[in-house]
């Protein structure tokens, strides 16, 4: 198990008005974990998050970051805030500067980075969130999703170990939410520990490694999402709803149609469970192949040639760079989020697909497919597209 | 949201690739020539040429440009009318004395003066609109920094710039919410509604300020602010066109001064 990066020991906080916001919470977050704080409005989610980077100081109890108790002198707080990146719910409240470049550079400049390094980290951060070329744009001319990305880039530019996001998808349209969650996934793959607050259970359920249910300043339940969201009584008390997939699974079991294996987290899991339970012996034909293409290593012409001989193949893109390249090459994408799962679904149905991606994500596709195949006892091939 | 800020138009104008220094030189140079000119010829020429530049090169919507010029022009027409009627001198075309000691007249001198004032207003407005429509504030910040504007003042300017759009958004929302519930329907009620709007905006801006401080704290603010690099380098071609334009207009100005002084240098 990885080391503990953040720990709360019986933390309590009361607002000056006299409202008890946090009434004794203890939990910990390990390095590389994805944790969702889930609860209704007023449960204390935002208050708790604001303690992680020292914006609020608990009245009693201790917070530890990297096994050190938080210290509240100016120098320690600066270092803490560099390592704990906080993304506010409303990006308009976080974006300070008149242009995208200046805003993303805000943290690095104040950390005293030399000019050359500022330019590099800002460039990297903007590339990570897919906002290359937006440097000179004023924030008020951006869409809500783009503003959210600017806010995230501004935090990424300081290279934090822990990312804290308050309701990251609350003001976004569905496509914007999916993009943001996909970005979270990329950042997680890049080694960031992520804590987010939300009351969107459908969003938290497949994403989180662990869910912490809050109610009225207390922890109601803390477990893997399948368990945390699986207890209707707890979920009702937390003023949430059971994720649709989990509800479906439970209702099927109640009707005497128990599905084998673990509880499904995604449609892919569900489909596979159903197929296993009812087709007795599984599919007859072979599974489809999942092709992976690293857009940084395969030129647009080679990709076009490759595609020309495979008409009607399903195409998905993972990551902002791959999506940009697809747009440039006028490649119509069938899947833009949950891409691996959707391609696995197609593969189970005997159809082949292509995933466009970049960097270390190629290995990730292979790992995910192998893990899936191992878990469910199927054989699905992953092939990397190589220049002919 | 877009509330028709000139800034938003400037952000997407066709001359965004031209260095702000060149554009400022043309705009301010033209303004100076307008003020120096003793006749109406040069100001009108500047108004015409910069108008063409704004419409064709910067590709500003002609309707927007006409709309922008309409307000100052209306003001100019009214004040020029007063100037023409009240002042005198030269050959009199028409005169009327409604009360003793006060006369209205149309004379050659008053018409010439009116024409000069009008052409100066038009030329000056064209020069200012040329700058406003082709050079966004974000570019001017860079120029201000190069011109050694004190950093604290510049930082404040940038905060204000950013806040204007956030606050205008909030004011517009409150105003829309008021109108949906039939505010501003009667004069007395309108005063109350306007007061409420001001109050709500004040509280909103106060909260906005507190949030700004919080955001700066969370992002390790230490008194420093990143600056953009120059949007576009000064290109020889742009510089040559700008210099040629200013020189031609200056030469014309010299010629008109020469003629106005009766063929000899004044």
Which residues of chain B have a CB within 8 Å of the CB of A100? none
**Alpha-carbon distance A288 to A265, whole Å?**
22
Tell me the longest C-alpha to C-alpha distance in chain B. Answer: 74
Cβ proximity of A204 and A213 under 8 Å = no
pLDDT score for A284: 61
**Alpha-carbon distance A370 to A378, whole Å?**
9
Signed CA dihedral, A171, A176, A177, A180: sign only: negative
Range with lowest mean pLDDT among A23-27, A37-41, A126-130: A126-130
- How far is the alpha carbon of A109 from chain B, nearest alpha carbon, in Å? 6
Contact yes or no for B220 and A107 at CB 8 A: yes
Q: What is the mean pLDDT of chain B?
A: 87
More confident residue, B4 or B135: B135
Q: What is the DSSP string of B128-164?
A: HHHHHHHS-HHHHHHHHHHTT--HHHHHHHHHHHHHH
Q: 3-state DSSP call for residue A341?
A: helix
- Cα→Cα distances A147→A144, A153, A293, B12, B256, Å: 5, 10, 30, 19, 54
B184 burial level (CB within 10 Å; 0-12, 13-18, 19+):
middle
Measured CB to CB, residues of chain B less than 8 Å from chain A are: 7-8, 11, 136-138, 141, 158-159, 161-162, 165-166, 169, 208, 211-212, 214-228, 231
Identify the helix (H) or strand (E) that includes residue A369: helix A361-376
- How far is the alpha carbon of A200 from chain B, nearest alpha carbon, in Å? 25
Contact yes or no for B138 and A139 at CB 8 A: no
- How far is the alpha carbon of B226 from chain A, nearest alpha carbon, in Å? 5
**A-B Cβ pairs (cutoff 8 Å, strict):** 95
Q: Which of B161, B216, B220 sits opposite A82 (nearest CB)?
A: B220
Which tokens hold the place of A381?
Answer: 């091939």
Which residues of chain A have a CB within 8 Å of the CB of B211? 93
- Cα→Cα distances B59→A136, A179, A252, B67, B166, Å: 20, 34, 63, 15, 28
Residue B1 binned pLDDT confidence (cut-offs 50, 70, 90): very low
Which residues of chain B have a CB within 8 Å of the CB of A108? 226
DSSP for residue A285: S
Which residues of chain B have a CB within 8 Å of the CB of A158? 219-220
Cβ proximity of A220 and A231 under 8 Å = no
Contact yes or no for A111 and B137 at CB 8 A: no
Contact yes or no for A141 and B221 at CB 8 A: no
Q: Which of B141, B166, B226 sits opposite A106 (nearest CB)?
A: B226
**Alpha-carbon distance A137 to A143, whole Å?**
12
Q: Is the pLDDT of residue A372 over 70?
A: yes
Place of tokens 């922890």: A219
pLDDT score for B266: 44
- Cα→Cα distances B130→A204, A323, B4, B35, B134, Å: 52, 39, 17, 16, 6
ipTM of the complex as predicted: 0.79
Which residues of chain B have a CB within 8 Å of the CB of A72? none
Q: Which of A86, A96, A112 sits opposite B212 (nearest CB)?
A: A96
CA-nearest of A328, A299, A303, A327 to A313 is A303
- pLDDT tens digits, residue range B145-196? 889 999 889 989 998 888 888 888 889 999 999 989 888 888 898 999 999 9
Cβ proximity of A353 and A314 under 8 Å = yes
DSSP for residue B56: I
Which residues of chain B have a CB within 8 Å of the CB of A140? 162, 165-166, 169
Q: How many CB atoms lie within 10 A of CB A339?
A: 26
A94 touches chain B (CB under 8 A): yes
Chain A residue closest in CA terms to B139:
A136
Give me the residues paired with residue A214 across strands.
A219
- How far is the alpha carbon of B145 from chain A, nearest alpha carbon, in Å? 14
Residue A388 binned pLDDT confidence (cut-offs 50, 70, 90): low
Identify the helix (H) or strand (E) that includes residue A193: strand A193-198
Contact yes or no for A55 and B214 at CB 8 A: yes
**Alpha-carbon distance B172 to B166, whole Å?**
10
Give A89's contacts (C-beta < 8 A, 6+ positions apart). Answer: A46, A166, A167, A168, A170, A171
Q: Which of A82, A102, A155 sits opposite B228 (nearest CB)?
A: A102
Q: Indicate the pTM of the whole model.
A: 0.82
Range with lowest mean pLDDT among A36-50, A217-231, A321-335, A356-370: A356-370
- DSSP H helical ranges for chain B: 6-11, 20-36, 41-52, 62-86, 108-134, 137-146, 151-180, 187-218, 236-260
Give me the residues paired with residue A28 across strands.
A7
CA-nearest of A109, A138, A136, A122 to B225 is A109
Residue B203 binned pLDDT confidence (cut-offs 50, 70, 90): very high
Chain A residue closest in CA terms to B137:
A98
Contact yes or no for B215 and A94 at CB 8 A: yes
Cβ proximity of A1 and A30 under 8 Å = yes
Residue A281 binned pLDDT confidence (cut-offs 50, 70, 90): low
Range with lowest mean pLDDT among A93-107, A329-343, B90-104: B90-104
- How far is the alpha carbon of B12 from chain A, nearest alpha carbon, in Å? 10
**Alpha-carbon distance A340 to A255, whole Å?**
31
Cβ proximity of B253 and B36 under 8 Å = yes
A175 burial level (CB within 10 Å; 0-12, 13-18, 19+):
exposed
Cβ proximity of A128 and A174 under 8 Å = no
Give B138's contacts (C-beta < 8 A, 6+ positions apart). Answer: A98, A99, A136, A138, B11, B228, B231
Q: Which of A93, A99, A110 sits opposite B215 (nearest CB)?
A: A93
How do beta strands A34-38 and A210-215 pair?
parallel
Which of B9, B20, B157, B220 to mutate against chain A (most A CBs within 10 Å)? B220
Q: Which A residues 140-179 touch B at CB under 8 Å?
A: 140-141, 154-155, 158
Chain A residue closest in CA terms to B221:
A110
Contact yes or no for B216 and A112 at CB 8 A: no
Place of tokens 């138009």: B9
Q: Is the pLDDT of residue A382 over 70?
A: yes
pLDDT score for A368: 83
Contact yes or no for A81 and B141 at CB 8 A: no
- Cα→Cα distances A3→A6, A29, A193, A207, B29, Å: 9, 9, 11, 21, 66
DSSP for residue A352: -
A105 touches chain B (CB under 8 A): yes
- Cα→Cα distances B5→B68, B133, B134, B139, B174, Å: 12, 10, 13, 16, 19
- pLDDT tens digits, residue range B5-62? 788 888 888 888 899 999 999 999 999 999 998 888 899 999 999 999 999 999 998 9
Which residues of chain B have a CB within 8 Å of the CB of A144? none
Cβ proximity of B50 and B245 under 8 Å = no
Which residue pairs, CB below 8 angstroms and at least 24 apart, start in B96-104?
none
Chain A residue closest in CA terms to B207:
A93
pLDDT score for A175: 77
Sheet holding A60-65, edge to edge: A20-30, A4-14, A60-65, A68-69
C-alpha dihedral (A325, A327, A332, A334), degrees to nearest 10: 70
- How far is the alpha carbon of B163 from chain A, nearest alpha carbon, in Å? 9
Average pLDDT over residues A247-262: 82
- How far is the alpha carbon of A98 from chain B, nearest alpha carbon, in Å? 5
């Amino acid at each position: 198990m990885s080391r503990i990066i953040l720990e709360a020991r019986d933390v309590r906080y009361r607002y000056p008005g006299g409202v008890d916001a946090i009434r004794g919470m203890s939990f910990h977050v390990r390095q590389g974990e994805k944790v969702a704080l889930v609860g209704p409005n007023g449960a204390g989610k935002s208050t708790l998050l604001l303690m992680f980077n020292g914006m609020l100081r608990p009245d009693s109890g201790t917070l530890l970051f990297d096994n050190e108790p938080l210290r509240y002198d100016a120098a320690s707080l600066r270092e803490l805030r560099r390592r704990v990146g906080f993304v506010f719910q409303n990006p308009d409240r976080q974006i300070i500067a008149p242009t995208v470049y200046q805003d993303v550079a805000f943290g690095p400049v104040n950390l005293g980075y030399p000019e050359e390094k500022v330019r590099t980290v800002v460039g990297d951060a903007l590339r990570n969130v897919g906002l290359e070329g937006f440097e000179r744009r004023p924030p008020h001319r951006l869409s809500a999703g783009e503003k959210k990305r600017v806010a995230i880039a501004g935090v990424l530019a300081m290279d934090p170990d822990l990312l804290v996001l308050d309701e990251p998808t609350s003001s976004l349209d569905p496509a914007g939410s999916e993009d943001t969650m996909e970005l979270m996934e990329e950042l997680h793959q890049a080694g960031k520990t992520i804590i987010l607050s939300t009351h969107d259970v459908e969003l938290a359920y497949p994403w989180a490694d662990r869910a912490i249910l809050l109610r009225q300043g207390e922890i109601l339940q803390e477990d893997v999402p399948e368990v945390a969201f699986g207890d209707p009584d707890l979920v009702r008390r937390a003023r949430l709803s059971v994720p649709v997939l989990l509800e479906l699974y439970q209702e099927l079991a109640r009707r005497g149609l128990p599905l084998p294996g673990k509880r499904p987290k995604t449609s892919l899991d569900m489909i596979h469970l159903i197929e296993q339970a009812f087709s007795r012996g599984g599919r007859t034909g072979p599974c489809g192949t999942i092709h992976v293409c690293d857009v940084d290593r395969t030129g647009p012409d080679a990709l076009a040639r490759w595609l020309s001989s495979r008409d009607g193949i399903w195409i998905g893109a993972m990551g902002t760079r791959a999506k940009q390249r697809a747009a440039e090459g006028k490649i119509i994408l069938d899947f833009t989020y949950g891409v691996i799962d959707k391609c696995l679904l197609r593969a189970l149905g005997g159809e082949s697909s292509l995933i466009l991606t970049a960097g270390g994500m190629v290995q990730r596709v292979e790992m995910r497919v192998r893990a899936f195949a191992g878990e469910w006892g199927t054989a699905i091939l992953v092939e990397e597209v190589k220049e002919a | 949201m877009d509330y028709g800020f000139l800034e938003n138009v400037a952000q997407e104008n066709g001359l965004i690739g031209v260095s702000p220094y060149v554009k400022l030189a043309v705009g301010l140079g033209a303004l100076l020539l307008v003020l120096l000119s003793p006749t109406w010829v040069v100001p009108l020429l500047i108004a015409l040429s910069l108008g063409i530049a704004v419409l064709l090169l910067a590709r500003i919507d002609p309707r927007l440009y006409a709309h922008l010029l309409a307000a100052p022009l209306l003001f100019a027409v009214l004040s020029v009318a007063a100037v023409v009627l009240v002042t005198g001198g030269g050959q009199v075309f028409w005169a009327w004395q409604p009360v003793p000691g006060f006369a209205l007249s149309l004379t050659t001198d008053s018409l010439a003066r009116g024409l000069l004032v009008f052409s100066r207003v038009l030329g000056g407005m064209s020069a200012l609109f040329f700058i406003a429509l082709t050079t966004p504030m974000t570019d001017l910040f860079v120029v201000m920094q190069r011109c050694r504007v004190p950093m604290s003042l510049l930082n404040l300017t940038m905060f204000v710039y950013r806040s204007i759009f956030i606050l205008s958004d909030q004011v517009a929302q409150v105003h829309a919410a008021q109108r949906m519930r039939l505010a501003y329907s009667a004069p007395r009620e309108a005063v109350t509604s306007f007061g409420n709007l001001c109050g709500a905006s004040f509280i909103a801006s106060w909260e906005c300020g507190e949030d700004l401080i919080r955001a700066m704290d969370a992002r390790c603010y230490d008194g420093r602010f990143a600056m953009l690099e120059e949007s576009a380098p000064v290109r020889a071609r742009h510089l040559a066109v700008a210099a040629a334009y200013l020189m031609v207009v200056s030469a014309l100005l010299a010629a008109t001064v020469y003629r106005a002084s009766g063929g000899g240098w004044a």
